[in-house]
Structure 1
């Protein structure tokens, strides 16, 4: 293990203990010598750990005494309010603002807090390249032939095996591969609904899903959502007579990062099944949990085949590979028909390489480290936001995923903040793009998928200072 990696691991571990309240303000930390002995590191590495924690305001040095947890150290900011969208379906899409934000995608000259994806620095790029070369050798005709309509068998088999971790108990024949999760959701919408139908979603919600629904002619009914527990069930019950479909992201949805409790998932599945309303479940963030166990999915409680479970590797392994899948339950034949019309086949080489990556155990090793890094990032980002943003700022407390939702005072318009930030080469996602209604104008989403560094801290400080000016 490199010295840099080891020093970061130790510093992040202590930061986690402080942030989680295990170490309290005023507690004395082990001495430099004790840290050396405990972790088998040099005096210089131990001193570097303490200097980094001191620079982050996690600890204070007292001459002739040692290091203590700072009384100014990170404290959790208040939670954002439960969303209260209008009870009427809407289609007021902020198209121009969405286009502005996503036009920045891939711009290496910007700090992209706006794009919810892990940085390439956090991905196993060299290993993926080897898998692609191996796939070209193994596949019939070097991967140039069409895949079966249902998709790569090995990939479907590996996804089915991994479903056991969340109680899915899927079979390879239950799955259809797609070109990413948004393509899976798109196939579901086209197979199940028609223009004029009303679809219920969380609020706030991923802009791409909102755009997709509107483009297909759906009316979108946004429902109140709690920043910790997700969709408010009572609101869904009241909406039942108005809706034809439901689309939810129960596990670490963007932008809130909320995770619906298992009992809520079970209740929602039973409620929708009772009224014969299909549920499209987007589980794209499910593997990015910060706790000790992967959360279950709504599909885990599906007894009648009315939950269409969608996911992909876009947020965990390779955003640009566009590899996804769907377990459509009783709607399998409808989806295959739509896929035949719109896609015919998926990319053979890419699917085979991802399947091999899953099969060899490389994915589990990678995702374990990615979860740890993202959790550490979250703690650092949250600490910086508490330190640099104006008084009255509220933040979500994601239990997984890639985002922090920031709610600012009502007089701040984050469309204006976006324009100021982009001039300083910082791209943010204004809250208005996560809704079809006139709400969240004082909110932003920050992606935590960029590796923590002095530069990221500096950019968050710049952003905080811009916010204070507004």
Structure 2
């Protein structure tokens, strides 16, 4: 390991002891000099260990006293139950509920806990505007021409370079740009399925993916998940004879926020390749990790070109820019043909601007602050929930991403809570949106991508009061 990254490993070991309860809340941590001597590292490197722990809100310093384990009230709330969907295909969308929730997008009079995108207040908007101006000046004809079918070369090159962090080893020629990740997923599904085929999805699952699958005439099989480790591999194995394609969000899935362990990713890739079942991987949230290291992807273990890896900056940088991409493996020619039919070209100026932003290093600088903000938000939300929500409430422990999954006692209907909350200018995403089956009526997803304010805390308190009234 390179010397510069030793502090990541040491911080990770201490963080694990805190999260597992070996080091207790309020307990004193070793001093900087003690840590330096114990691990044979410089004092500056030891200081970086504590800066990393502070960034994760796991440690706090007290003047003249040293470092201590931070209050971790949110870890005392129980986890939601593992999902148990029925092993049957279903296409029953809760359309009225979904349409009602998404009709609130863009409404500035509401507190939008319901929409899973970051607020512009925590995005580098001024820097992005400058990149748009520069892209207009640098592109031939001011960016009004069609770009190559495969997409902006600068953006593709940077996506490939960034794949080294998760051992993807992509080359720019492996990548095709798209108009956001949903466009990427749609192209992948059109390429590898036909109406009447069966798709396996995680349960709960992002509503947009459910709607996309149903709109294409696919039969949906929902697969059981655990709130920490993700999809139940044994449950998936039982469904293999019935499915034609699998679509997973293994890194910080919305709404649960789990990160699938590497060994599970590797096993799933091998399993699906053996059955010649394409795996579409949605890695939209992969860069929003709360731990120091970016997690690997299923694509990291793909040796047969069977994984169609999709990503975007919609959840990290600019939702409205609609910048996405695919590394489609052995399906590259099909995807290129479909892109020509459905889009012809991506938006030249926007894709050039994002490519420049990634190349400049500003993206990584933004991500460091962005991830810290989201992790702190999660902890503040969790503390508010522990104080104000009904007894028996359970919450997920997202390892990254933008979502917090809340499970109430079963008698609380979150579709009903949604209607009451909306009258108080609060919008939530009821759990029934995240499934095609009769489940999750007592759950909801909250977006943690809003800037924390005193008013936001009061809105969570108000939401808890409304939930108690329903009890």
TM-score range normalised by the length of the shorter chain: 0.7 to 0.9
Separation of aligned partners in 1, 2:100 and 2:265: 35
Cα RMSD for the two superposed structures: 2.1
Q: Secondary structure at the match of 1:379?
A: helix
Do the aligned residues in 2 keep the contact of 1:19 with 1:379 (CA within 8 Å)?
A: no
Residue 133 of structure 2 corresponds to 133
After TM superposition, give the deviation of residue 145 of structure 1 in Å.
0.2
Number of positions where the alignment pairs a residue of Structure 1 with one of Structure 2? 419
Task: Evaluate the alpha carbon distance shift between residue 242 and residue 452 of structure 1 in structure 2; reply closer, same or farther with a 3 A threshold.
Answer: same
After TM superposition, give the deviation of residue 332 of structure 1 in Å.
0.4
Residue 148 of structure 1 corresponds to 148
Residue 349 of structure 1 corresponds to 349
Q: Secondary structure at the match of 2:84?
A: coil
After TM superposition, give the deviation of residue 76 of structure 1 in Å.
2.4
Do the aligned residues in 1 keep the contact of 2:279 with 2:307 (CA within 8 Å)?
A: yes
Task: Evaluate the alpha carbon distance shift between residue 244 and residue 71 of structure 1 in structure 2; reply closer, same or farther with a 3 A threshold.
Answer: closer
Separation of aligned partners in 2, 1:462 and 1:117: 22
Residue 100 of structure 2 corresponds to 100
Which TM-score applies when normalising by structure 1? 0.86
Task: Evaluate the alpha carbon distance shift between residue 459 and residue 23 of structure 1 in structure 2; reply closer, same or farther with a 3 A threshold.
Answer: farther
Residue 298 of structure 1 corresponds to 298
Do the aligned residues in 1 keep the contact of 2:73 with 2:386 (CA within 8 Å)?
A: no
Separation of aligned partners in 1, 2:248 and 2:72: 39
Q: Secondary structure at the match of 1:309?
A: strand
Confirm or deny that 1:435 pairs with 2:441: no
Instruction: Give 4+ residue runs of structure 1 displaced > 2 Å after superposition.
Output: 17-29, 68-76
Task: Evaluate the alpha carbon distance shift between residue 456 and residue 149 of structure 1 in structure 2; reply closer, same or farther with a 3 A threshold.
Answer: same
Separation of aligned partners in 1, 2:27 and 2:324: 47
Separation of aligned partners in 2, 1:267 and 1:204: 21
User: What are the ranges of 5 or more consecutive residues in structure 2 without an aligned counterpart?
Assistant: 1-16, 30-58, 61-67
Which TM-score applies when normalising by structure 2? 0.86
After TM superposition, give the deviation of residue 451 of structure 1 in Å.
1.2
Task: Evaluate the alpha carbon distance shift between residue 69 and residue 192 of structure 1 in structure 2; reply closer, same or farther with a 3 A threshold.
Answer: closer
Confirm or deny that 1:381 pairs with 2:390: no
After superposition, the C-alpha distances for 1:388-433 in whole angstroms (9 at most, x for unaligned) are 1011000000000001100001111110000000000000000000
After superposition, the C-alpha distances for 1:127-184 in whole angstroms (9 at most, x for unaligned) are 0000000000000100000011110011000000000000100000001000000000
Residue 415 of structure 2 corresponds to 415
Residues 2-21 of structure 1: matches in 2 within 5 Å? none
Residue 310 of structure 2 corresponds to 310
Residue 271 of structure 2 corresponds to 271
Residue 163 of structure 1 corresponds to 163
Residue 46 of structure 1 corresponds to none
Residue 286 of structure 2 corresponds to 286
Residue 194 of structure 1 corresponds to 194
User: What are the ranges of 5 or more consecutive residues in structure 1 without an aligned counterpart?
Assistant: 1-16, 30-57, 60-67
After superposition, the C-alpha distances for 1:100-132 in whole angstroms (9 at most, x for unaligned) are 000001100000000111110110000000000
Task: Evaluate the alpha carbon distance shift between residue 26 and residue 233 of structure 1 in structure 2; reply closer, same or farther with a 3 A threshold.
Answer: closer
Q: Secondary structure at the match of 2:405?
A: strand
Q: Secondary structure at the match of 2:149?
A: coil
Do the aligned residues in 2 keep the contact of 1:19 with 1:74 (CA within 8 Å)?
A: no
Do the aligned residues in 1 keep the contact of 2:101 with 2:429 (CA within 8 Å)?
A: yes
